[in-house]
Structures are given as structure tokens and as C-alpha cells.
Amino acid sequence: MITVTLAGAAVLLPVAACSSDEPAAGKAPQAATASPTEEPTEEAGKTHPFTGLPMEGSAKPVLAVKIENTAAGKPQLGLKSADIVYIEQVEAGLTRLMAVFSSKLPAKVGPVRSARISDLHIVPQFGKPAFAYSGVQSLMLPFMAKASLYDVGDTRNPGAFFRQPGRFAPYNLFATTKKLLSRAPGADKAKDIGFTFGDAPADGGVDKKSYTVKWPAARFTFGWSEADKKWLIWQDGKKDMAAEGGQLGAPTIVVQYTKTERSQFHDKNQSYTPLVRSVGTGTAVVLRDGKAYKAKWERKSEESGTTFTTESGEPMNFAPGQVWVALASRKPVIP
């Protein structure tokens, strides 16, 4: 069974020093020092469907990028600019990220890693986005060819990728986002994917200072920072730092409990590739404003967005800003 607990753990700075104090249960983390980020300017009251923030001009194309998520690939570059970040289980109980960009584009992003079958079931809700990754096992190539996406991976679009000095392979492959999108001129623009933003439910939330989600070989702790008005992120007991500076975090964290199965694919070590079932219905925990809310999720088809509601059936509004979606398994999956 996946356990969800209050937790405390350690702290990692991206390149220099690190300390080891995960937020203890009942204690709020100290505010992280982060570089300022630009916010879109308001125009005619329009808000972005992925973030609920004021949207400047018309919607922009969607770019999804598969990102490394082990210690060897940290700190990652570009995640602070993502609208949505998905945490997905991969082989051996580890996790990888899918970062979805539209309202803002970082100049560069990475480390970019290989795609998985679960990705191909997540991206259709965005229509036909550009999808960047670095390789895929040969048995999955027919699935990739049929998927609802523009393939801008390193094989089809090598000019968009480069090796970052100071890192070692395979954790040194990065991409230039404008070059990625230039190869997908028909990529669909951001649209409604079911998220709603606004005031929190009047009742039903439980005060939480930290919340931990576990996969077989990975652990995430989300600690509420009143100063930053967001949930700061720890992974495996260490602060999850951004290459741009500051600790990663988001105003809304969604822990979406899904069915995780063995797929037909394996890695080179014969560890099976999990298939995360993101279509259907299930339960969720939504973290916002220092509280945890029980919620339900529904996604009727792969082309549909995912809606979240309270236990009473009202829309489960997210706090405006970046959203992290942790696709957690209902049951432990043994690699």
C-alpha cells in the first residue's frame, strides 16, 4: 500500500552546500531563497487554463518534456517555468517527471530522458502537443508513431538538443525550447483540461504543514511555506532545488491515486515498466493554502481532461499558479 504520512526529512542545495532537515511533522519549512519569476499580465480578465493566472494575449502551443528525476540528474533546469509537472512511476520503483509548458517557456530544459508508455496516455488530454524526450525502446516505437503528439525527440529533432558541460551522460542532455516548438508548428494550444481555480472549499480541509507520498523507491515531501504561499518540495529527504536557484514548489499539489499495472515493456535490466492508468475515476488529496482536501477525480477518455471535485461533488478549485500532479499507486508495486 502506498503510505501517505506526515514526514520530516533533509535539505539539498543544488550545487554547493546542503543541510539535512526535512520539515518535521507540524512544523512549517523556512522560506526558500528563490530568484524572482515573471507573472503574466492581465488582459480582459482571461486566465490560463493550466494555471488560473491572468493570461497575456491568446493561448500558446503546448510543449511536454520528459525530465530526469534521480539525484544524478539534479538540479533540473526549466521546471520553475512549467505550468504542470507530473510525477510518474517508472522501472525499479523510481520516478520521472513530465513538465508541461505553455504560458511560459524557459530558454532551456533538462536533463531530458526517455519516454514511457504512461506518457502516451497522459498527453492526449492536451490535444496534439509537442513532446520532447530522448529515446524510447524499440518495442514502443509503433505506439509512439500512433500517439496524439508531435514527436520532437532527439532522434527526429537533434538540432534542438545539446550536451550540458559539467554533467555526465546520460544526465547531460538538455534542449532549447524554441527549437523544439519550431519543429511542431501545428502543436495544439492550451485549452481547458478540467482544472478549476479559485477560492478553496469553505470546509473539508485539514490543516497540514507537511505531507509525504511514497513510491517503491522514491519519497516526496511537500511542506507548506506561509511566506512563499506554496508547498516546497523535498525528494528522498533532500530539498528539491532548481538549477535557476531556489527550492522547487507550487501553490497546489495534487496526489492522484491511480491504478498502476505491469505493462508489456521492460528496461535493459528486465525490470518491468509500470503503466499508470490515468483514465477512469479515483480518489485524490489536494494540497493548497496549508490544508489537505479529500477529492475525487474523473477522466472519461484519453482525449478528456481530468476533473477534480470535493467529496460533496463541488469543483475542487486549485490555487492559481503551477500545479504538481503526483500519480501515486493505490497498492505497492514490486519492481
Q: What is the pLDDT of residue 14?
A: 37
The DSSP output letter for 194 is: S
Instruction: Transcribe 112-129 into DSSP letters.
Output: B----HHHHHHGGGGSS-
- Residues contacting residue 17 through CB under 8 Å, at least 6 positions apart: none
Cell of 321: 499558479
- Cβ atoms of residues 175 and 65 within 8 Å: yes
d(CA 35, CA 204): 34
The DSSP output letter for 199 is: S
Q: What is the pLDDT of residue 25?
A: 54
d(CA 7, CA 105): 33
- Residues contacting residue 316 through CB under 8 Å, at least 6 positions apart: 196, 201, 284, 286, 293, 295, 308, 309, 310
- First-last CA distance in the chain: 14
Q: What is the pLDDT of residue 29?
A: 52
- Cβ atoms of residues 211 and 292 within 8 Å: yes
* Residues 232-256: b if buried by 16+ CB within 10 A, e if exposed: bbbbbbbbbbbbbbbbbbbbbbbbb
Note down pLDDT in tens along the chain; length 335 residues. Answer: 434 333 333 333 333 334 345 665 555 555 444 444 444 443 457 999 999 999 988 999 999 999 999 999 999 999 999 999 999 999 888 999 999 999 999 999 999 999 998 999 999 999 999 999 998 887 888 998 999 999 999 999 999 999 999 999 999 999 999 999 999 999 999 999 999 999 999 878 899 999 999 999 999 999 999 999 999 999 999 999 999 999 999 999 999 999 887 766 666 666 678 888 899 999 999 999 999 999 999 999 999 999 999 988 999 999 999 999 999 986 444 33
d(CA 116, CA 87): 12
How buried is residue 127: exposed, middle or buried, by Cβ count under 10 Å (0-12/13-18/19+)? Answer: middle
Beta bridge partners of 37: none
Residue 324's identity, in one-letter code, is W
User: Where in the chain are the domains?
Assistant: 1-13+59-335
Residue whose C-alpha cell is 530558454: 107
What pTM was estimated for this model as a whole?
0.85
| Backbone Cα Rg of the chain | 19
3 state SS of 91: helix
Cell of 64: 511536454
Q: In the CATH scheme, what is the code of domain 1-13+59-335?
A: 3.50.90.10
3 state SS of 138: helix
Q: What is the pLDDT of residue 18?
A: 40
Q: What is the pLDDT of residue 9?
A: 38
d(CA 88, CA 119): 9
3 state SS of 250: strand
d(CA 111, CA 31): 26
Kindly tell me the sign of the dihedral angle through the C-alpha atoms of 249, 250, 251, 257.
negative
- Cβ atoms of residues 254 and 322 within 8 Å: no
Q: What is the pLDDT of residue 333?
A: 40
* Diameter of the chain measured on Cα atoms: 54
- Residues contacting residue 141 through CB under 8 Å, at least 6 positions apart: none
- Cβ atoms of residues 153 and 136 within 8 Å: yes
